[in-house]
Amino acid sequence: MNKTELIEAVAKQADVTKADAGRAIDALTAAVTAALKGGDSVTLVGFGTFKVTKRAARVGRNPQTGKELKIAARNAPGFSAGKTLKDALN
């Protein structure tokens, strides 16, 4: 499912226009992004938790040449599924 299909599904489910559903999805993604940038996590009970994970610096290898290279430390987004979502899939 891509963003357009998601917007159509939300519009149909919530009985709103596609434009309103699109703005709602954009607002949700912006709010989650802002919270993660600020170091917070976002928990949607039953659905899951978005959080920032810290990746340590490490040494990797270029697969073509085999030469070692340094990979810098960074923050990465993470998602842990909630119980209701897990149960729905199994």
* Exposed / middle / buried, residue 21 (Cβ in 10 Å: 0-12, 13-18, 19+): buried
pLDDT reported for residue 58? 96
| Same structural domain, 60 and 89 | yes
Q: How is residue 42 annotated by DSSP?
A: E
Distance CA 27, CA 7 (A): 12
Looking at residue 50, its pLDDT comes to 97
Where in the sequence is the domain holding 6, given as residue range(s)?
1-40
pLDDT at 59: 96
User: Do residue 48 and residue 86 come from a single domain?
Assistant: yes
Residue 7's pLDDT band (cuts 50, 70, 90): very high
pLDDT in tens, 8-53: 999 999 999 999 999 999 999 999 999 999 999 999 999 999 999 9
pLDDT band at 2 (very low <50, low <70, confident <90, very high): very high
The total domain count for the chain is: 2
